[in-house]
Amino acid sequence: EGGGLFSLHIALSNFDFARGVVVGLYRYRVGDILKVTGFHNAAPQFRFVHRRNVVLSVDTDKTNEEDLLKAVTQAKLLLEPLGCLLTEYTSYADTSSIPGHYVLFWELKTKASSDPSHIDSAVMEDCCSTIESCLDSVYRRCRSRDRSIGPLEIRVVRRGAFDALMDYCVSLGSSVNQYKTPRCIQSREAIQLLEEKVVGKFFSRKLPFWEPYTMMEAKAG
């Protein structure tokens, strides 16, 4: 248990910052989801995970930030054999296309901390497909059966794009100390800022697997 600040099990679980106030963690806001990574003396140590209740939606789908994080975490593993790392990402629901689709902006670097000289199209398309396969059944139904959502798209931006996004957000009044890269953006200006730095666009080439959920399956579960 952590004493003094609040009681917390050392289960290395996620902590909803809306439930407590921690002295000195001025960078975190109410609604932030933090992961307890350990204790220093009696003080818990945290890692920022995501903001709460941020969603992407095109049709009846509702993708929250945690679901997106899990999907991206799986997809970025495909970059490792290429010696590439995903350094930042954000997303938005592009409803200007018919049908609408999810767009993710990815900033990549090599393990030598440079811009990738070549982006493997096949790998990036597999990243798109992996993300879709990791999203929930409503999204996969809309994509595969209803066709009310178009193929997920990843737009790779050159390095420094997310620094520019931070500068833009700070110019609008965001605190530098509290700034965390938004995992979903809606501002046209912010989207345009990143769009100007795109060096490659890639789409999912596969429909994600989906099958109807039957009452027999529900009883068996």
Q: Where are the domains of the chain?
A: 14-51, 55-203
pLDDT recorded at residue 106: 98
Given a cut of 60, is residue 41 above it in pLDDT? yes
Q: Which residue has the tokens 């679980």?
A: 13
Burial category of 122 from C-beta neighbours within 10 Å (exposed 0-12, middle 13-18, buried 19 and up) = exposed
Q: Over pLDDT 70: what percentage of the chain?
A: 76
Q: Which of 46, 85, 52, 78 is nearest to 67 (CA)?
A: 52
Question: Residues, the chain, total?
Answer: 221
User: What's the rounded mean pLDDT across residues 166-172?
Assistant: 93
Given a cut of 90, is residue 1 above it in pLDDT? no
pLDDT recorded at residue 128: 99
Mean pLDDT, all residues of the chain: 83
Determine the Cα–Cα distance for residues 30 and 83; give it in Å rounded to an integer. Answer: 37
- Encoded tokens for 61: 């789908």
Determine the Cα–Cα distance for residues 186 and 209; give it in Å rounded to an integer. Answer: 29
Apex 149 CA angle, 33 and 151, nearest 5:
90
Give the SS3 label for residue 15. strand
pLDDT recorded at residue 112: 72
Given a cut of 70, is residue 29 above it in pLDDT? no
User: What's the rounded mean pLDDT across residues 119-127?
Assistant: 95
